Amino acid sequence: MTQVQTIEELSMSRMTDRTSASVGEASALPLSFPLAMAKIEVHPDSPVPLYEQICKGVRAAIWSGDLPPHTRLPTTREFAQALRVARNTVVEAYTRLVAEGYLVSNTRRGTRVVGDPPVRPNFDDAVQPAPLAGISAIEIGFHARRVLDAPSMPTASGKPFAIDAPDPSFYPRNQLGRLIAEEFRRAPASDQRHAAAEERRFQVAVATYLRHARGVNCDPAQVIAVNGARSAVDMAARVLIDPGHTVQIEDPCQHYVGAAFRAAGARLDPIPTDSDGANPQRVLGPPPRLIFVQSSVNFPFGAQMPENRRRAVLDSARMSGAAIFECDSYGELLYSGGRVSAIQGMDNEGRVLYCGSLNRTLGPGIRAGFLVVPPPLVEAFSEMARRIDYGPELYVQAALATFLEQNDYALHVKRVRAQYSARLQMLRDALRTFMPNVRFSEPKGGLHIVIYLSGAGCEASVCAAATAQGLSVSPLSQFYLSSSRSYGLVLGFGSVSERMIEPAVKRLASAVQSGLSEASAA
């Protein structure tokens, strides 16, 4: 289909399926309503969230060519009325599709399919070309092999309980979206003075915010713009680590942390954790070059490191002459416990690299964060960031600077924190109701909760059963570096809406019961 058919053409073949809500059932639709959108159906009784059903329908229409590039979509109000769903459901679907790169939204032009949408992933039909006769296969390098052999981070998806998946509907479209659009329109093509001024403005805004919110003491020049915590860790590994260096890493931790330092040739020593976070006094091994800790909210337990433990980390680094990488990517999402100053604010010797991320609070569509480095390292890190292009575009930095300067970010964080806190409480209540015999963590912050299981067999069986139920759970054991580990499920509640928590937990309870029965039978 090369052209978009309209609802007029739909009248030639009326849809007869009445078991679900669909656009085709509406009695009065705009003449410009695309037929591809009219074919989309939503099933209220399905365990798949309504917004994800809409996303799947739109993606399929784009992949098939029924919605060609630049096609204008109905407004959220029109589409919601046609589907007989809440407008917020369509808003959430459009927001997710914009974040995934399928749609683009503009105040004046409406929501349209992008000019070059992502192609449909299809790994099964991939054809491997035959090697040329007489020529040996080209092999990848040793450094790349170390990166690719490491376990990869589970991919966030639209399924319930995907990890590290903030809610895209929390993106502040009205304020930040407008600022980004304005900065994009007025940004000159190439002006070094303008670029330097916008970079400096972002640095000043971040430094001011961190001084008040985190007790971080830094000059604006120490702030390096990055795309998020992953970029900051990768840059630290490139700048500070040589093959043979020892890096102590809080255990458990996200996959990308160990992968980055392992790729740099480092020896990894796990730092055991308890209810107070990482405990450097329990580490065995040679003196480290760098110590990686999560201070405000750790992954996946959501524990907060108290002040005495933070000072213990500083003392350990001082005795070994090590640097500290303080990862505070979930620091804005602390729901209980008092605010404690960052380790960086306690550091008088210039040992701490402080990393923060805006992705968790602004949503997955914004890839922005910051790395505060000690003054002697500013030149090296700044140059590395420029050469490898670690940071967001300058117009995004300029918009974020304004967002921070006008105190809009602080107000946004307050609202988002309250919403996630309420969502976490609803998840706790649902777990107690439908899984009363299961023990789970009590996080003080973050976007995850852990359900504990008795062993590796139970973990594997329950994960398989949950996957079969359409749930995106992650096994707890895979995030450990050491062989001394706990077993269970890591559940992300960031993208699970309030109305979907109870149905998702019911499915999880069924999966846990099925998995435990299978494990005991084996």
Q: Please give the average pLDDT of every successive group of 10 residues along the chain, which has 522 residues.
A: 41 40 53 76 84 90 88 88 88 85 80 84 52 58 65 61 88 89 75 80 96 94 95 96 95 93 93 92 90 95 94 94 95 86 93 95 90 96 92 92 94 95 96 95 95 92 91 93 91 92 94 87 72
Pairing of strands 323-327, 352-357: parallel
| Pair (423, 364) in one structural domain | no
139 domain-assigned: no
H-type helices in 264-342, by residue range? 307-320
| Pair (340, 441) in one structural domain | no
143 domain-assigned: no
| Pair (243, 359) in one structural domain | yes
The reported pLDDT for the residue numbered 51 is: 87
Q: Does the model's pTM come out above 0.75? A: no
CATH number, domain containing residue 507: 3.90.1150.10
CA–CA separation, 359 and 338 (whole Å): 23
Class of residue 410 by CB neighbours under 10 A (exposed 0-12, middle 13-18, buried 19+): middle
The reported pLDDT for the residue numbered 35 is: 79
Q: Give the domain range for residue 305.
A: 173-407
144 domain-assigned: no
Of 407, 437, 466, the last residue of a domain is 407
| Pair (309, 387) in one structural domain | yes
Query: How many structural domains is the chain composed of?
Result: 3
CA–CA separation, 319 and 58 (whole Å): 58
| Pair (337, 243) in one structural domain | yes
What is the sign, positive or negative, of the torsion defined by CA atoms of 231, 233, 237, 239? Answer: positive
The reported pLDDT for the residue numbered 136 is: 56
198 domain-assigned: yes
The reported pLDDT for the residue numbered 48 is: 81
| Pair (277, 295) in one structural domain | yes
| Pair (177, 271) in one structural domain | yes
Q: Determine the 3-state secondary structure of 327 from DSSP.
A: strand
| Pair (190, 314) in one structural domain | yes
CATH number, domain containing residue 199: 3.40.640.10
| Pair (320, 208) in one structural domain | yes
First to last CA, the chain: 52
| Pair (320, 182) in one structural domain | yes
| Pair (419, 399) in one structural domain | no
The answer to whether the CB of 222 falls within 8 A of the CB of 207 is yes
264 domain-assigned: yes
268 domain-assigned: yes
Of 82, 113, 144, the last residue of a domain is 113
Rg of the chain over all Cα atoms, to the nearest angstrom: 25
Phi first, then psi, for residue 433 (nearest 5°) are -75, -50
Of 407, 431, 463, the last residue of a domain is 407
| Pair (385, 475) in one structural domain | no
The reported pLDDT for the residue numbered 20 is: 52
156 domain-assigned: no
CATH number, domain containing residue 77: 1.10.10.10
119 domain-assigned: no
The reported pLDDT for the residue numbered 134 is: 52
Closest among 328, 359, 329, 330 to 342, alpha carbons compared: 328
